[in-house]
Amino acid sequence: MLTRFLLWAVFLLLVGRAIRRFFAGLTEGASPRPRPQRPSGPPEKGELMIRDPVCGTFVLPSRAASMRDRSGTHYFCSDTCRQAYIKAPRTA
Ligand SMILES: [Zn+2]
């Protein structure tokens, strides 16, 4: 009983997948979509933007200038902002 049900489930799954693939092939054949060109250094998807405490710009930590102090790691849009923060951290 149970094995029969499982066989049916697998069968339906396979058929459903085949049908979906068939239609996907049809639509793709009609309009081949160009692959999006990725820039050389794409930001990680889902990477959180962090606010530059000096100028308020949001930056990606992987690309930003960073600095650690007692309150944690800070990220800056440029070395100029980092220097400004080092000189006057209270403006954060
Ligand atoms: Zn900045």
pLDDT, tens only, 16-45: 899 899 888 887 766 656 666 655 555 556
> Residue 39 C-alpha to ligand 1 middle, in angstroms?
23
| pLDDT at site 33 | 64
Distance 33 CA to ligand 1 centre (A): 38
Q: If we measure between CA atoms, which residue out of 26, 57, 64 comes closest to residue 43?
A: 64
- Better-predicted residue by pLDDT, 26 or 56: 56
Element (H, E) at 51: strand 50-51
pTM: 0.47
- pLDDT above 50: residue 54: yes
Determine the distance separating the centroid of ligand 1 and the alpha carbon of 61, expressed in angstroms: 13
At 71, the pLDDT band (50, 70, 90 cuts) reads: confident
Distance between CA atoms of residues 63 and 41, nearest Å: 9
CA of 37 to the centre of ligand 1 (A): 29
